[in-house]
Amino acid sequence: MSLQLSPPKTPTETPMKTSTAPRFSRKPGKGMTHKRKSILLTIVMGFMAVYALLPLFWLFVNSTKTQPELFSSFGLWFSGDFALWDNIGQTLTYNDGEFLRWLANTVLYVVVGAGGATFLATLAGYGLAKFDFPGKRAVFAVVLGAVAIPGTALAVPTFLMFSELGLTNTPWSVIIPSLISPFGLYLVWIYAVEAVPTEVLEAARMDGAGEFRTFFTISLRMLAPGFVTVLLFTVVATWNNYFLPLIMLSESTWYPLTVGLNNWNAQATTAGGDAIYNLVITGSLLTIVPIIIAFLFLQRYWQSGLTAGSVK
């Protein structure tokens, strides 16, 4: 990152005294002596990595098994025919391909919901960081207060409200509530204070550029790492959203993957239901693959957004 190092002067000393949000840190210089690596520490951390990755490995191994093999073989190793492709085929076509429909719904919710949330948070975070306006303090207090309210406690009243507005059982009922990310607002705000120098804005104003033009042509580029970080976190939040769509949607047509998968599982555990455990497992695997790929590939961006330029 080509940003200047400067001591943080952010308005973050708010509720917690210090922020967790990005600052421009000095990373240990290259000249710092290399410390001896500890083997013991590496082994202990190895156990942590096993704890984190073992269930994912289990999921992969078991999505390669046929239903009878699932019940008869050891969970942590492959057994019988390699049935992964067959399982994927079945998952995608089961019940007229409802899995693909749920996938399309999820993508819709992510693109509009997470994209919109990131856009709104960036706009507002920038506004809070770079402008002074009447009521700024009230905005600040209200948003902070709202973060403390359990989101799920709001779900029931939101459902009742939306049902009176005729929005339940439509994609809007899932999209509209996901448009707000207070954490995203906070992150962009902290980030914008330093990432966009006020002098640059002043220069643009002198040149007669409008505020929105300045935002889209100059500021947005400077905010990019913060933007990508917020985008990634809102994508995860909407991709993984379960409670909200569970409440809002009563027909499987608009289900996202999470609710659909749980329905399959409930069906499998019900006596007399079609036991489709192999589909639940393969479907779970297919659900997490895109998001894990996104995290691995965008690693550089989101880690730099969070630690602001101190990626090792």
Partner 1 sequence: MTTTLNATVATEAPTQKRSRGRWTGWAFVGPFMFVFSLVFLAPVLYAIYLSLFQDQMVGGTKFVGGANYVQAMTDPQFWDSVRRVAVFLVVQVPIMLGVALAVALAIDSNRLRFASFFRISIFLPYAVPAVVATLMWGFIYGPRFGLVGNLNELFGWAIPDPLSNHWILVAIGNIVTWEFIGYNMLIFYAALKTIPNELYEAASIDGAGAFSVIRNIKIPSIRGAIGIASIFSVIGSFQLFNEPNILKSLAPNAISSFFTPNMYAYNLSFAGQQFNYAAAIAMIMGVLTMIVAYIVQLSGSRKDS
Touching partner 1, residues 93-122 (CB under 8 A):
120-121
CA distance 158 to 163: 8
216 is an interface residue for partner 1 by CB under 8 A: no
- What is the rounded (10 degree) CA torsion for 156, 160, 161, 164? 170
User: Smallest gap, in angstroms, from Cβ of residue 296 to partner 1?
Assistant: 7
CA distance 45 to 42: 5
Residue among 71 and 82 whose Cβ is closer to partner 1: 71
272 SS3 class: coil
200 is an interface residue for partner 1 by CB under 8 A: no
Candidate list 1, 3, 6, 44; residue touching partner 1; CB under 8 A: 44
Q: Which stretch binds partner 1 (CB under 8 A): 71-79, 96-104, 107-115, 220-228?
A: 71-79
Show contacts with partner 1 in window 224-283 (CB under 8 A): 236, 239-240, 242-243, 247, 257-259, 261-262, 265-266, 269-270, 277, 280-281
User: Smallest gap, in angstroms, from Cβ of residue 86 to partner 1?
Assistant: 18
CA distance 259 to 112: 19
How many C-beta neighbours within 10 Å does residue 274 have? Answer: 11
Residue entry with tokens 């073992």 = 54
Candidate list 71, 93, 100, 111; residue touching partner 1; CB under 8 A: 71
User: Smallest gap, in angstroms, from Cβ of residue 97 to partner 1?
Assistant: 20
Candidate list 3, 104, 111, 161; residue touching partner 1; CB under 8 A: 161
Number of amino acids touching partner 1 (CB under 8 A): 125
196 is an interface residue for partner 1 by CB under 8 A: no
Q: How many CA atoms lie within 13 A of 194 on its CB side?
A: 25
User: Smallest gap, in angstroms, from Cβ of residue 89 to partner 1?
Assistant: 20
DSSP assignment of 9-51 equals --TT-SSSSS--S---PPPPPTTSPPPPPPHHHHHHHHHHHHH
User: Smallest gap, in angstroms, from Cβ of residue 96 to partner 1?
Assistant: 22
User: Smallest gap, in angstroms, from Cβ of residue 93 to partner 1?
Assistant: 21
Q: Which stretch binds partner 1 (CB under 8 A): 41-49, 82-90, 93-101, 107-115?
A: 41-49
CA distance 166 to 74: 50
Show contacts with partner 1 in window 120-149 (CB under 8 A): 120-121, 123-124, 126-128, 130-137, 139-143, 146, 148-149
Residue 275 CB partners (closer than 8 Å, separation 6+): 67, 268
Show contacts with partner 1 in window 283-302 (CB under 8 A): 284, 287-288, 291-292, 294-296, 299
- Closest-CA residue to 239 (of 57, 103, 59, 60): 103
Residue among 108 and 123 whose Cβ is closer to partner 1: 123
DSSP assignment of 196-228 equals S-HHHHHHHHHTT--HHHHIIIIIHHHTHHHHH
Candidate list 2, 30, 51, 96; residue touching partner 1; CB under 8 A: 51
| Start-to-end Cα distance in the chain | 12
78 is an interface residue for partner 1 by CB under 8 A: no
